Each structure stands twice: as C-alpha cells, then as structure tokens.
Amino acid sequence: MFLAHLIYFSVPSGVGDADIQNICDISNANNSIDDITRSLMYSGSYFVQILEGSRTNISKCYTRICRDTRHGDVTLVGFSAINERRFPDWNLRYIGGSQLDIRIINRFFPKGFNPTIISDPNALRDFLWFASQ
C-alpha cells in the first residue's frame, strides 16, 4: 500500500447541525471501511480536512467529497506520500467552531482564520494537528 495524505479546504453551502451530523456519520462509516484517518475542521466559513490512507482510497474519497453540494470551491492544497499517519484514529476529529482554540488560530492566522492564504500544505496539516489536540 502506498500511504499518502490529501489536504483541502472548501466553503460550506447552507449546512446546519443536521448536515454536519450526517457528514460525520457517513464519513465515519466509510472511512472505517476504507482505513482512512482524518481530521475535519468546520469553522462556519470553511471546511478544512486532511485525509490519510492508501492513495487509491483517499483519491476515491476526495472524488466523492468534491461532488457533494453541501460545500463548494473545493480547493486541493496538497497530496503527497507519507511514511506514517499524523491522525492515527480513524474516528472523526471534528473541530467545531466553538471548540476552536483562539490562541491556535491566532498563531497560524494572525489576521483571522483564512485557509486561502496558506500555500504550504504542511502548515495547514500542523494547524489541524494542534487544533485537534
């Protein structure tokens, strides 16, 4: 198996709590089967997600995600081979808006949370890692 990670951000489109719960339920079920681990952050203005797993499985998952009308402007930030997983639990790491640590946001985004200004995928991965601790 070729282990890889994929990082993207997107803009939520009319999602409410029920949509988030549905996304979590479907994702947990699918990702468990596909041995995909991940972290998903929902800030209200953006989704940011990292997927880790076999490059075939995360490619298929990303294709499904891109078709989903619950968000738009899905922007691929990085896709690369990795030696080990940074988010080893297959369970969803959903970082909801109210749970976000403002100190971590300020450290990575001094002018306010905005993933569009990040060019280095590893910086976004590090942000997700710190935010999900």
Chain residues that interact with ligand FAD, rule: CB under 6 A: 22-23, 26-27, 30-31, 38, 40, 47, 49, 61, 64-65, 67-71
Alpha-carbon distances, residue 79 vs 36, 58, 86, 105, 132 (angstroms) = 14, 10, 14, 23, 20
Between residues 30 and 59, which has the closer beta carbon with respect to ligand FAD?
A: 30
Q: Which residues contact 34 (CB under 8 A, 6 or more apart)?
A: 53, 54, 57, 60, 61
Between residues 22 and 45, which has the closer beta carbon with respect to ligand FAD?
A: 22
Between residues 106 and 116, which has the closer beta carbon with respect to ligand FAD?
A: 116
Q: Where are the alpha helices (DSSP H) in the chain?
A: 17-34, 55-67, 102-108, 121-131
Q: Is 22 helix (H, G, I), strand (E, B) or coil?
A: helix
Neighbours of 34 (CB within 10 A): 17
Between residues 69 and 133, which has the closer beta carbon with respect to ligand FAD?
A: 69
